[in-house]
């Protein structure tokens, strides 16, 4: 591999790069590579906000949970991030993060971190059983939003294909797929935070169209420890996403991300605003 390729950062790392500009303050900028309809892909914003915590010198342990609130559209260009340790407890640290452009707070996040611990373990949930990734077609992303090209998605069911359902004859909200960063990148918490939002909006497969739509709030629980992620490396994860209800202009979404050896790596939930 030529030097210039081995040396260039992965697009995700370029997109979430933060420059320290003071105590708990960082400067960042949006990435064209992860652009969505009217702002950056929400997953990369979640990754930026998580990275601000992981980069903080007072940070201990690993990310356990993150909630991101998407408050306003993020315009292309520079943004600032501030991170604050709200509570430094024995078993957890609680962080508050804010991202703004000019006078507008565009996103906030709460992040809980804590030491890795070994305890009694039990898994009531079963991993989805999917055919091997190489047996499923890669979703074509040419001509779609930029961020979709940053993921290799191989759907077993529930591919986001316009026109396969309608408001009168809704399709299933369930998707199951193999998903990984494109190009491949060893899994860590920031990439996991981003992949947790990589399930294309449920309304597309359910109703067949994409009205104006935006994630309002996103909560991800990181159930993987470092060892489980190291074992997974850059290989595709199994993803599952579903929705319970669409009404009053909002729908919920719940997602799971599993390693290919059957570990639940993350659970993620969101509330999505839609128009009409």
Q: Which residues bind a second copy (CB under 8 A)?
A: 64-65, 67, 69, 71-72, 86-87, 89, 91-92, 94, 96, 98, 104-106, 108, 110, 112, 114, 116-125, 167, 170, 172-174, 206-207, 216-217, 219, 221, 223, 225, 242-250, 252, 254, 256, 264, 267, 269, 271, 273-276
- CA-closest candidate to residue 61, choices 122, 140, 2, 114: 114
Q: Quote the CA–CA distance of 142 and 182 in Å, as a whole number.
A: 13
Q: How far is the CB of 270 from a second copy (least distance, A)?
A: 9
Least spacing, CB of residue 122 vs a second copy, in Å: 5
List the beta bridge partners of residue 155.
177
Closer CB to a second copy, 164 or 254, in the complex: 254
Whose Cβ is closer to a second copy: residue 13's or residue 221's? Answer: 221
DSSP 8-state class, residue 163 = T
Min CB(183)–a second copy separation in Å:
30
Q: How far is the CB of 158 from a second copy (least distance, A)?
A: 11
123 near 154, Cβ under 8 Å?
A: no
Quick check: helix, strand or coil at residue 95?
strand
- Residue closer to a second copy by CB (options 74, 136) is 74
Nearest to a second copy of 148, 165 (CB atom): 165
**Contact yes or no for 106/79 (Cβ under 8 A):** yes
Output the smallest distance, CB 73 to a second copy, in A: 9
Q: Please enumerate, as own/partner, the contacts of 132-138 that have beta carbons within 8 Å and a separation of 24 or more.
A: 133/178, 133/236, 136/177, 136/178
Closest by Cα among 267, 259, 264, 268 to 237: 259
Nearer to a second copy (CB atom), residue 11 or residue 63: 63
């Amino acid at each position: 591999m030529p030097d210039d390729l081995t040396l260039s950062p992965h697009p995700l790392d370029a997109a979430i790069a933060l420059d320290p500009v003071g105590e708990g303050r960082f400067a960042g900028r949006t990435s064209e590579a992860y652009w969505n309809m009217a702002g950056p892909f929400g997953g990369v914003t979640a990754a930026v906000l998580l990275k601000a915590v992981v980069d903080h010198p007072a940070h201990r342990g690993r990310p356990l949970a993150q909630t991101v609130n998407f408050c306003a559209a993020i315009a292309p260009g520079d943004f600032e991030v501030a991170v604050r340790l709200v509570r430094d407890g024995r078993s957890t640290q609680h962080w508050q993060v804010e991202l703004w452009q000019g006078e507008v707070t565009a996103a906030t996040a709460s992040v809980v971190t804590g030491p890795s611990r070994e305890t009694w373990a039990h898994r009531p949930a079963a991993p989805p059983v999917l055919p091997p990734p190489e047996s499923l077609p890669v979703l074509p992303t040419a001509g779609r939003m930029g961020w979709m090209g940053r993921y290799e998605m191989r759907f077993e069911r529930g591919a986001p294909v316009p026109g396969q359902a309608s408001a009168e004859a809704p399709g299933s909200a369930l998707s199951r797929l193999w998903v990984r960063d494109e190009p491949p990148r060893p899994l860590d918490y920031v990439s996991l935070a981003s992949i947790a939002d990589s399930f294309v909006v449920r309304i597309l497969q359910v109703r067949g169209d994409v009205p104006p739509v935006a994630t309002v709030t996103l909560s991800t629980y990181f159930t993987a420890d470092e060892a489980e992620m190291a074992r997974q490396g850059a290989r595709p994860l199994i993803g599952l996403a579903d929705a319970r209800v669409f009404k009053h202009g909002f729908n919920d979404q719940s997602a799971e991300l599993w390693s290919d050896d059957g570990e639940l790596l993350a659970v993620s939930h969101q509330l999505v605003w839609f128009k009409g």
